[in-house]
Amino acid sequence: MSEPSRQPGPRSLAGSVVLGLVAFSATLILLFGLSSVISRTAGDARATARASSTQGRSTGSGPSMSASTGSASRSASGDPVLVGAGDIADCRLDSGAATAALLDSIDGTVFTAGDNAYPNGSDANFEDCYDPTWGRHLDRTRPAPGNHDWETKDLNGYLAYFGDGAAPAGVSWYSYDLGAWHVIVLDSDCGVVGGCLPDSPQGRWLAADLQASTARCTLAIWHHPRFSSGEHGNDTSVWPLWDALYRAGADVVVNGHDHDYERFGPQDPAGREDKAAGIREFVVGTGGAVLRGFPTVAAHSEKRSSDSLGVIRLVLRPASYEWSFIETAGGVADSGNGTCH
């Protein structure tokens, strides 16, 4: 005969309750610990992502990156490449996108020749207009300021966006070496930087920088062109900058400001042809602004185009250089080569 079922007594019931509470508590502890680990891991990942996304700008990695040694900065021959334009991004025109697309397929150090973000170089102009286009090349960009960038007080939008590397000594001019070349970035807004004369802060710095350089080949970039067939024409205020470079044996100057492409033959500071010691000038205001024609033709202008936006690609060889103006409309509109002095 089977034994009658036995009902649990008070002691065994209490034990069951205790065991249940222990198991429940252990489950809660396990779940809480797992949740904390997941939360902490996700937080670390977000922090890493934020650090990665802001590292270039906060440290000024665009202007301070080691472009002269990176493989991405070299041509097929192994020589450094410098590529860029001025007069770039304007949200009102949805501009800059087409030239940024050209940069996507061109290795090298990117330069800007001023008027980076229209209409006034504000934080919003840089974030909304420049950043979605040329901004994806920020980590290899060495910028120069223009008059529209200066329309925001103290150049604050430009400096905040490009970081300390755009003004490594606390001023808006600097220099760097790219392969065998010495590259000088100047600020041609002479009225707001203390002038451009030899005894101005920028003039004194330029003289000292040129004297200290041992490079055979020298290239300078600023916004306002000394010579131009475009709407603004020749700018005499930058004559002292050109004169200092000419006396030091510089080879190439790249500017923007006039919204077109123009190449000049080698000239002295007064605009006289000088094939032996003159500086060749390129005006490349074709980064994205509305293109404009040529009211006149300046002396020694060798090539002009206002048909298409585009960028200039410069291959910097140890004692020479090659140029090509690459249009967004397709093809190369101008190309050639020169020898350093």
Q: Is residue 263 part of a domain?
A: yes
Neighbours of 221 (CB within 10 A): 26
Separation of alpha carbons 58 and 306, rounded Å: 37
Question: Is 119 in the same domain as 87?
Answer: yes
Separation of alpha carbons 85 and 286, rounded Å: 6
Q: Is residue 3 part of a domain?
A: no
DSSP conformation class of 279? B
Question: Is 74 in the same domain as 142?
Answer: yes
DSSP strand pairing (301-305 vs 117-118): unpaired
Question: Is 207 in the same domain as 267?
Answer: yes
Question: Is 208 in the same domain as 252?
Answer: yes
Separation of alpha carbons 301 and 228, rounded Å: 8
Q: Is residue 101 part of a domain?
A: yes
Angle CA 259–265–271, to nearest 5: 85
Total of domains in the chain: 2
Q: Is residue 5 part of a domain?
A: no
Question: Is 36 in the same domain as 98?
Answer: no
Question: Is 25 in the same domain as 84?
Answer: no
Can you give the residue range of the structural domain that contains 33? 10-58
Question: Is 93 in the same domain as 219?
Answer: yes
Q: Which of 142, 82, 318, 314 is nearest to 215 (CA)?
A: 318
Question: Is 225 in the same domain as 318?
Answer: yes
Question: Is 35 in the same domain as 117?
Answer: no
The pLDDT tens digits along the chain (341 residues) read 433 343 444 434 344 433 344 344 444 333 334 333 333 333 333 333 333 333 334 333 344 443 333 334 566 778 999 999 999 999 888 789 999 999 999 999 999 999 999 999 999 999 999 999 999 999 999 999 999 999 999 999 999 999 998 999 999 999 999 999 999 999 999 999 999 999 999 999 999 999 999 999 999 999 999 999 999 999 999 999 999 999 999 999 999 999 999 999 999 999 999 999 999 999 999 999 999 999 999 999 999 999 999 999 999 999 999 999 999 988 999 999 999 99
Neighbours of 62 (CB within 10 A): 25
